[in-house]
Amino acid sequence: MCAHHHLYSALARGMPAPPRTPRSFLDILELIWWRLDRALDLDAIEWSAKLGALEALESGTTAIIDHHESPNAIEGALDVIAAACAEVGVRADCAYGVTDRHGPAGAAAGLAENDRFLRAGGRGRVGVHAAFTCSQATLEAAAGLAADHNTGVHIHVAEGPDDAGAGDRLAPLAADGWLLVHAVHLDQELPGTIVHNPRSNMNNAVGYARPAARPNPVALGTDGIGADMLDEFRVAYARHREDDVTATPEAAWGWLETGWELFPEARTDVVRWSYGATDPWSLAFTTGVRALDAVIDGEAVLRGGRPTRVDPDEIRAKAAEAAARLFARLDEIP
Ligand SMILES: [Zn+2]
């Protein structure tokens, strides 16, 4: 179970280099991710989601909590992602990341997409990009919408220093059902589950989140760098141990298991692995463990490492074509 993914980033690998070298977390957002999301159309979203879902299944990850942003293709985006995951056979929980970066109309369209998707019976939460790119009115609207739909808000919280004020902004709004993603620079306690993304945090040089020191439940996500959760568990353990020599793999294993609380349906899924031992101490030091078979919702969707519902070669070929179109659009974005 991956508690925080960005399926839209599956096509980003190999993307054109940014106009200059990012020198901060905000640079990374502005020069890479906020250019990529503007270049997304529904076609790119579809193939990116199919490729991401395929890679999740091949990694033995049967459920994904996704966080999506595509400011020039908002309406219907969550349906496209949910359908792509359903086609591959992987469970998905979708959210559109609301933000005021594209003005009040952009924020309203993001809220409307969350509302439309949830109202139609989609499985998901109300997405918010982050407090530092939203007005307080937008944060309040998202919190209210989530409460109306009896779900939580899925939001990046204090990932980098630019969002260090998130605690004060969210304190009046946050609730137990919220997903607080990253919480690296969070300066106070908020209700909700913290989603720790150790590899992404290292990649963005934002510092160590010290999830073990938080009173909240902690789950693990990849933040869009694939969906191999055994691998993310190993990275989480290694990063924890680097910070504290008394840390054991049981802590990171517990974070992995918290995922089931967020996606209870996935508890019934069965995965058979290429390695027999399934205890944290063995798996923390065994790299390259592969999923052989997966049964999701009673259906065998992976057999002998091959998906049964879709042709992986076709998805990879079509995704590569969609990536080429995406990169061409990206070259035209300043
Ligand atoms: Zn994220």
Beta partners for residue 90, in sequence order? none
Q: Could you report the per-residue pLDDT of 310-323, keeping only the tens digit for each?
A: 999 999 999 999 99
Q: What pLDDT score does 277 carry?
A: 85
CA–CA dist 59, 188 (Å, integer): 35
Dihedral sign of CA atoms 217, 250, 261, 129 in order: positive
State how far the alpha carbon of 322 is from the alpha carbons of 49, 66, 265, 328, in Å: 11, 20, 32, 10
Residue ranges of the chain whose pLDDT lies below 70 = none
Expressed in angstroms and rounded, the spacing between residue 181 Cα and the centre of ligand 1 is: 7
Domains and CATH numbers, the chain: 2-330 (3.20.20.140)
Candidates 261, 291, 215; CA nearest to 65 is 261
Round to whole Å and give the CA distance between 82 and 59.
19
How is residue 29 written in tokens?
């957002």
pLDDT at 63: 98
Rounded to the nearest angstrom, the distance between the alpha carbon of 136 and the centre of ligand 1 is: 20
At 331 the pLDDT is 87
Q: How remote is the CA of residue 295 from the centroid of ligand 1, in Å?
A: 28
| CA–CA distance, 151 with 142 (Å, rounded to integer) | 11
Question: Which phi-psi region, left, alpha or beta, contains residue 110 (left: φ > 0; alpha: ψ -120 to 50)?
Answer: alpha
Q: Answer yes or no: are the C-beta atoms of 180 and 192 closer than 8 Å.
A: yes
Q: What does the block give as tokens for 330?
A: 């990206």
Measured in Å, residue 159 CA sits from the centre of ligand 1 at 9
Between the CA of 67 and the centroid of ligand 1 the distance, in Å, is 7
Contacts of residue 290, Cβ cutoff 8 Å, sequence gap at least 6: 60, 273, 274, 305
Angle between helix axes 103-119 and 136-148 (nearest 10 degrees) is: 10
Q: Are 134 and 107 in contact (CB under 8 A)?
A: yes
Distance 4 CA to ligand 1 centre (A): 6
Going from the Cα of 6 to the center of ligand 1, the distance in angstroms, rounded, reads 6
Would you tell me how many other CB atoms lie within 10 Å of the CB of residue 324? 11
CA distance 27 to 41: 23
Distance CA 43, CA 27 (A): 27
Ligand 1 centroid–CA 224 distance in Å is 7
Pairing mode, strands 63-66 and 193-196: unpaired
pLDDT tens-digit readout, 261-281:
999 999 999 999 999 988 999
Q: Which of 57, 116, 120 is nearest to 91 (CA)?
A: 57
> What is the reported pTM?
0.97
If phi > 0 it is left, if psi is from -120 to 50 it is alpha, else beta; for residue 61 that is beta
Compute how many other C-beta atoms are within 10 angstroms of the C-beta atom of residue 317: 12
Q: How far is the CA of 277 from the centre of ligand 1 (A)?
A: 31
Residue 64 and residue 5: Cα distance in Å, rounded? 7
Distance 8 CA to ligand 1 centre (A): 11
Q: 66: CA distance to ligand 1 center in Å?
A: 9
Q: CA 325 to CA 21: how far, in whole Å? A: 23
Residues with Cβ within 5 Å of ion ligand 1?
223
First vs last C-alpha separation in the chain: 36
